[in-house]
Chain A
Amino acid sequence: EDKVVQSPLSLVVHEGDTVTLNCSYEVTNFRSLLWYKQEKKAPTFLFMLTSSGIEKKSGRLSSILDKKELSSILNITATQTGDSAIYLCAVLSNYQLIWGAGTKLIIKP
């Protein structure tokens, strides 16, 4: 059965800290891995990773895929209170996104 597992399930850090969120997967017909940020509404797209070892970066956020280890990490440096959200990892298998349960990140001022 296809599955995506994220860790930790929740994380509380202080503003300015750096965090690393993990996503591992067992999926047939892997096509790409996506990271989304979800606050109170719908998930907002962050990154799509298709190739192993190539870091994608957007401001203080970065992510990389390791196809050998079947995993990905999402890094956030110099965290701010606005980074507080649930971070969701999903793997695209054919047409379908298979989702992890998310990491709830809380940034304390």
Chain B
Amino acid sequence: DTGVSQNPRHKITKRGQNVTFRCDPISEHNRLYWYRQTLGQGPEFLTYFQNEAQLEKSRLLSDRFSAERPKGSFSTLEIQRTEQGDSAMYLCASSLAGQLSNQPQHFGDGTRLSIL
């Protein structure tokens, strides 16, 4: 399977716990994005990487959220001290970015986070 892969598919945890999600992008894609989606809404941008560099982070993103892409391949998204409002689907997408062309973002199946 050469698509975007996310793990775990579901995560249920108690409020206050830390959680970490992983995303493996399509192998030749140099851009990686994290989104959060709640019911009835389009995806909300969280952050994005070009190779290993985190180039942008949403101003709406709490300090409890951190993301890494240490070798420019897979990425992790960590949420510390989870809150009820963090319950959502966390989506990862990747794309191939070049100077002359835009390429569409391709999404993984997401990690559904439920905070008890």
Q: Does chain A bind chain B?
A: yes
Identify which of residues 33-67 in chain B touch chain A, using a CB-to-CB cut-off of 8 Å. 33, 40-45, 48, 50, 55-56
Are B42's CB and A102's CB within 8 A? yes
Cα–Cα distance between A15 and B48 once the two chains are bound (Å): 40
Q: Which segment of B69-77, B80-88, B107-115 sits at the interface?
A: B107-115
Q: Smallest CB-CB separation from A90: which chain B residue?
A: B42
Identify which of residues 58-109 in chain A touch chain B, using a CB-to-CB cut-off of 8 Å. 88, 90, 92, 95-102
Are B102's CB and A92's CB within 8 A? yes
Are A99's CB and B109's CB within 8 A? no
Indicate whether A41 sits within 8 Å of B42 (C-beta atoms), given known contacts A31-B102, A95-B56, A96-B56: no
Are A95's CB and B104's CB within 8 A? no
Residues of chain B whose beta carbon lies under 8 Å from any beta carbon of chain A: 4, 31, 33, 40-45, 48, 50, 55-56, 91, 97, 102, 104-110
Are B43's CB and A97's CB within 8 A? yes
Interface size on A, residues (CB 8 A): 23
Are A32's CB and B45's CB within 8 A? no
Residues of A within 8 A of B41 (CB): 99, 101-102
Cα–Cα distance between A90 and B102 once the two chains are bound (Å): 14
Known: A42-B109, A95-B31. 5 other contacts (CB 8 A): A36-B107, A43-B107, A50-B102, A101-B40, A101-B41
Cα–Cα distance between A41 and B45 once the two chains are bound (Å): 17
Q: Smallest CB-CB separation from A41: which chain B residue?
A: B109
> Cβ of A21 < 8 Å from any Cβ of B?
no
Indicate whether A96 sits within 8 Å of B45 (C-beta atoms), given known contacts A42-B108, A48-B102: yes
- Min CB distance, B20 to chain A, in Å? 19
Residues of A within 8 A of B109 (CB): 41-42
Cα–Cα distance between A82 and B45 once the two chains are bound (Å): 28
Cα–Cα distance between A92 and B105 once the two chains are bound (Å): 10
